[in-house]
């Protein structure tokens, strides 16, 4: 242990601890901008400077390890003046139109400016008018260099967590900025729209494209029947934007709020998550049969899940030779979208052209996904608009709804019923667990041999997880799987996906089924979720997801009565003709700029 004093208070910490973490142990907050707990240390903003007794220069607390006998002052006159100077310099190059800014009230730079009482800029305003034009080429991500403080959190996120490397520091001096390959617009480069850089950007330099006004317009249009679906990860994080601690489930309040906002029908993406399990589980079993019984050599195994649109775009850019390994299932959002404009209006007696389909997602990549030309199988754009968890919270605030006081309500029926298996789609390993709960039972006629249906080997925050399950006692239809060992793998965060994909490409991975989620922790850590994010917050959201699953009366997708109903009344059978038409899709190779 290392003994030191911070603001004259003794503290003992482990060797290698930074001054920043040691100060936090004593509840002293040191401001930071380039530091983020998920990323490597950059030490470039200097806003975290502290005074170390005997040292000539101020030290960056995030990048300086403690030493025995060290005496640190985190709030001396010298420290305060240096920090104020740093913030003033940043603001001199910043387009500080806070009142018009999407980050107003939630911006780390604004918070510091207010904390250090920066009034009129001491330095000249150096932002040129032509620099204030944001790149809004992507339907998901807006990039506004005039609000960038060059902390490089985005560059490290895109490289360290996602291994996409869409962003880099470009040019020097006055011209230095965060750019893409040849400064191409965001929609032309390898960016997956995952939004992880947004979650870590301290300012509004990176933000989601927002479509709240379009949704208000649709709600106010008497011709429109506005349906809304919400993904499982939204209900366990929305509360964070509205006064609750991380990990508090607000499912019932969220449904009540959506009704108050004026949506005509409040439905659930979890319904189509259950449907995905029926389609994807059947697809996996069919591929296994073709490979093992019919001895077909061109069967693409392992099969990869296809729910995460950031992951889909990543594989389209980076591993196009493996596109056949992707399940052809659309994501639950898009399955919902195509049914919302076919099955739903047919049952309700509504003209599908009057249906306006809104999706509330933890994800920015879903904004891109809903605009893909492949996603129009209903004859219309299947999902009209995607809002993030953050945007839904903003609508709730705009409407003046006292969220805390709302009484719990339930989703409408017809595409509103779901199971615990669907809920866990929001956590890494969840799609795999839901698929195994159903596939094992189809093949053996028995429940999975795990206590309380909890398949713990596929859970947790390890970047790459592996599990295997011996299949014994098969029912006659599936006897060819008798004694087989189903091998699965799971990755979350695209840097972890790369590890698995390289192994598959090189023939070194003997798996049957691989789940990949683009975001750390799965959708619960998605790019549209409340900010801030950290491992601790994502773990709390994970616990909330599994608690929600355990509290559900039905926990296996194939036991959802509305799923039985839709196959009987509309779809026929999994992988049947109508399913192929509405619920499945294809992918395309993309360039690697």
Nearest-approach distance from CB 201 to ligand SF4, in angstroms: 3
Handedness of CA 504, 374, 517, 514 (dihedral sign): negative
Piece in contact with ligand FES (CB under 6 A), picked from 29-37, 109-117, 142-150, 307-315: 29-37
Q: To the nearest whole angstrom, how small is the minimum distance from the Cβ of residue 103 to ligand FES? A: 18
Count each helix (H run) and each strand (E run) in the chain, helices first. Answer: 21, 17
Min CB(151)–ligand FES separation in Å: 7
Q: Which region among 102-110, 351-359, 426-434, 509-517 touches ligand SF4 (by CB under 6 A)?
A: 102-110
- Bin 447: left if φ > 0, else alpha if -120 < ψ < 50, else beta: beta
Interatomic CA distance for residues 337 and 418, integer angstroms: 16
CB of 565 to ligand FES, least distance (A): 55
Asked if 107 is part of the footprint of ligand SF4 (rule: CB under 6 A), the reply reads yes
SS3 388: strand
532 binds ligand FES (CB under 6 A): no
Interaction partner, residue 152 (ligand FES, ligand SF4, none; CB < 5-8 Å by kind) = ligand SF4
Place of tokens 């004093």: 5
Taking Cα atoms as reference points, which of 557, 571, 186, 218 lies closest to residue 383? 218
Is residue 327 part of the contact set for ligand SF4 (CB under 6 A)? Answer: no
Query: Which region among 55-63, 189-197, 233-241, 570-578 touches ligand SF4 (by CB under 6 A)?
Result: 189-197
Out of 33, 142, 285, 432, the residue judged to bind ligand FES by CB under 6 A: 33
Q: Is 406 in the site for ligand SF4 (CB under 6 A)?
A: no
203: contact with ligand SF4 by CB under 6 A: yes
Check binding of 43 to ligand FES (CB under 6 A). yes
Q: Which residues pair with 165 in a beta bridge?
A: none
The residues that are catalytic are 280, 283, 307, 327, 366, 369, 374, 523
Q: Angle 435-195-542 (CA atoms, 0-180°, nearest 5)?
A: 45
- Is residue 329 within 8 A of residue 572, CB to CB? The reply is no
Asked if residue 442 lies in contact with residue 478, where contact means CB atoms within 8 angstroms, the answer is yes
The three-class DSSP label of residue 71 is: strand
Minimum distance, C-beta of residue 147 to ligand FES, in the bound complex (Å): 17
CB of 43 to ligand FES, least distance (A): 4
Does 97 help bind ligand SF4 (rule: CB under 6 A)?
Answer: yes
Measured distance between the N- and C-terminal CA atoms of the chain, rounded to whole angstroms: 48
Where is 78: in which H helix or E strand?
Answer: helix 77-92
What string marks each residue from 44 to 73 as x (binds ligand FES by CB under 6 A) or -? Answer: xxxxx-----------x-xx----------
CB of 62 to ligand FES, least distance (A): 3
- Is there binding between residue 544 and ligand FES (CB under 6 A)? no
Q: Residue from 70, 82, 206, 215 that binds ligand SF4 (CB under 6 A)?
A: 206
Q: Which stretch binds ligand SF4 (CB under 6 A): 4-12, 96-104, 335-343, 534-542?
A: 96-104
User: 386: which DSSP letter?
Assistant: E
* Separation of alpha carbons 87 and 203, rounded Å: 13
What is the per-residue DSSP string for 143-168? E-GGG-----HHHHIIIIIT-----E
Query: Is there a contact between 58 and 16 (Cβ–Cβ < 8 Å)?
Result: no
| CB atoms inside a 10 Å sphere around CB 521 | 24
Of 298, 227, 314, 229, nearest to 265 (Cα)?
A: 227
110 touches ligand FES (CB under 6 A):
no
**Residue 388 interaction partner, one of ligand SF4, ligand FES, none, beta carbon < 5-8 Å per kind:** none
Q: Which does 32 bind (CB under 5 to 8 A by kind): ligand SF4, ligand FES, none?
A: ligand FES
For ligand FES, give the closer residue by CB, 22 or 335: 22
Give which of ligand FES, ligand SF4, none residue 398 binds (C-beta under 5 to 8 Å, depending on kind).
none
Three-class SS of 278-335: HHHHHHHHHHHHHHHCCCCCCCCCCEECCCCHHHHHHHHHHCHHHHHHECCECCHHHH
CA dist 313 and 192 (Å) reads: 5
Footprint (CB under 6 A) of ligand SF4, residues 139-168: 141, 147-154, 157-158, 162, 164, 166-167
CB of 39 to ligand SF4, least distance (A): 10
Q: Which residues bind to ligand SF4, rule: CB under 6 A?
A: 94, 96-98, 101, 103-104, 107, 109-110, 141, 147-154, 157-158, 162, 164, 166-167, 178, 191-197, 201-206
Binding site for ligand FES (CB under 6 A): 32-35, 43-48, 60, 62-63
């Amino acid at each position: 242990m290392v003994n030191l004093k911070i603001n004259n208070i003794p503290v003992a910490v482990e060797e290698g601890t930074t001054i920043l973490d040691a100060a936090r142990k004593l509840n002293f907050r040191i401001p930071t901008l380039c530091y983020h707990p998920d990323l490597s240390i950059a030490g470039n903003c200097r806003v975290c400077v502290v005074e170390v007794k005997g040292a000539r220069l101020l030290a960056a607390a995030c990048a300086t390890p403690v030493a025995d006998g060290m005496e640190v002052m985190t709030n001396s006159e010298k420290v305060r003046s240096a920090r104020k100077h740093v913030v003033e310099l940043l603001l001199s190059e910043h387009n500080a139109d806070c009142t018009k800014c999407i980050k107003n009230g939630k911006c780390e730079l604004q918070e510091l400016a207010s904390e250090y009482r920066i009034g009129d800029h001491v330095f000249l305003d150096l932002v040129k008018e032509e620099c204030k034009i944001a790149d809004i080429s992507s339907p998901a991500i807006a990039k506004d260099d005039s609000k960038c403080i060059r902390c490089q959190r985005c560059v490290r996120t895109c490289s360290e967590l996602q291994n996409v490397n869409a962003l880099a520091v470009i040019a020097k001096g006055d011209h230095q900025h965060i750019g893409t390959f040849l400064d191409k617009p965001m929609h032309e480069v390898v960016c997956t729209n995952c939004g992880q850089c947004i979650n870590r950007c301290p300012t509004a330099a990176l933000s989601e494209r927002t479509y709240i006004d379009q949704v208000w317009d649709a709600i106010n249009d008497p011709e429109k029947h506005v349906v809304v679906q919400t993904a499982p990860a939204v209900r366990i994080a929305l509360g964070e934007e509205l006064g609750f601690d991380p990990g508090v489930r607000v499912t019932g309040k969220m449904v009540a709020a959506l009704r108050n906002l004026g949506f005509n029908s409040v439905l659930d993406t979890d319904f189509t998550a259950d449907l995905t399990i029926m389609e994807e589980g059947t697809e996996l079993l069919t591929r296994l049969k073709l490979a093992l019984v019919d001895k077909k050599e061109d069967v693409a195994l392992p099969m990869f899940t296809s729910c995460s649109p950031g992951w889909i775009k990543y594989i389209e850019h980076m591993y196009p030779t493996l596109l056949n390994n992707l399940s052809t299932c659309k994501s639950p959002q898009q399955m919902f979208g195509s049914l919302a404009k076919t099955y739903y209006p047919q049952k309700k007696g509504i003209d599908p052209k009057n249906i306006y389909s809104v999706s509330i997602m933890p994800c920015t990549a879903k904004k891109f996904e809903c605009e893909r030309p492949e996603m129009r199988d209903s004859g219309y754009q299947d999902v009209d608009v995607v809002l993030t968890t953050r945007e839904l919270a903003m609508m709730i605030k705009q409407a003046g709804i006292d969220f805390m006081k709302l009484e719990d309500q339930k989703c409408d029926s017809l595409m509103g019923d779901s199971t615990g298996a669907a809920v866990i789609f929001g956590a890494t390993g969840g799609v795999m667990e839901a698929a195994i709960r159903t596939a094992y039972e189809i093949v053996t006629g028995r429940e999975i041999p795990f206590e309380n249906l909890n398949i713990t080997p596929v859970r947790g925050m390890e970047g790459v997880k592996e599990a295997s399950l011996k299949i014994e006692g098969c029912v006659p239809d599936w006897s060819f799987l008798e004694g087989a060992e189903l091998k699965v793998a799971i990755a979350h965060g695209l840097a972890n996906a790369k590890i698995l994909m390289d192994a598959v490409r090189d023939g070194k991975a003997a798996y049957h089924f691989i789940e990949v989620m683009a975001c750390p922790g799965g959708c619960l850590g998605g790019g549209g979720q409340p900010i801030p994010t950290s491992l601790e917050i994502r773990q709390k959201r994970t616990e909330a997801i599994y608690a929600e699953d355990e509290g559900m009366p039905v926990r296996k997708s194939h036991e959802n009565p509305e799923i039985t109903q839709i196959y009987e009344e509309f779809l026929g059978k999994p992988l049947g003709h109508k399913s192929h038409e509405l619920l499945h899709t294809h992918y395309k190779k993309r360039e690697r700029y």
